[in-house]
Amino acid sequence: MSSTLQGIRVLLIDDEAEFVNTLAERLELRGLVPQVAETGHDGLAMLEDSEFQVVLLDMMLPGMRGTDVLRKIRTSHQTLPVILLTGNANAKDGIAGMKEGASAYLTKPVDLNELLRVVQEMVQGEPRD
């Protein structure tokens, strides 16, 4: 699986610094190219400045909820795969995000192998902006 993930550019939008930095390191070790934004506003700005193949978006962000960020992403990047990350064990946020146009959702703590599988599916199965 990892050879098909080589060079995939991933934008991680999450305000939990320890979690997101650890996840970025783990993705980088597997050949992906992660960049981190700690706010929705920063993530949206990065999307305008750089090209990404997938976005990992936390649902609970300071100043702007994940669903709001997702709506803004969908206005300019309709086919960009967005995988929501939610700490809500009953998955209510994930389901709400799917209704807003998310490609998938995963609950925290994220299982890395499951995340890599979903990223691979998204990148291979969806057209890119």
What's the predicted TM-score (pTM) here? 0.91
**DSSP code string of 71-121:** HHHHHH-TTS-EEEEE--TT-HHHHHHHHTT-SEEEESSPPHHHHHHHHHH
Half-sphere exposure of residue 93: CA atoms within 13 angstroms, side-chain side: 21
User: Is the per-residue pLDDT at 129 higher than 50?
Assistant: no
Instruction: Confirm if 8 and 33 have CB atoms less than 8 A apart.
Output: yes
Structural domains for the chain: 2-125 (3.40.50.2300)
Q: What is the pLDDT of residue 39?
A: 96
In percent, the amount of the chain with pLDDT more than 90 equals 68
Q: Name the residue among 63, 21, 56, 74 with its Cα closest to residue 41.
A: 63
Q: What is the mean pLDDT of residues 62-87?
A: 92
Which comes out higher in pLDDT, residue 26 or 91?
26
Q: In which element (H, E) is residue 13 found?
A: strand 9-13
Which is nearest to 18 in space by CA: 108, 125, 115?
108
pLDDT of residue 95: 72
Mean pLDDT, rounded, of the chain: 89
Mean pLDDT of 65-87: 92
pLDDT the model gives residue 108: 86
Q: Give the distance, in angstroms, between the CA of residue 67 and the centroid of all CA atoms in the same chain.
A: 12
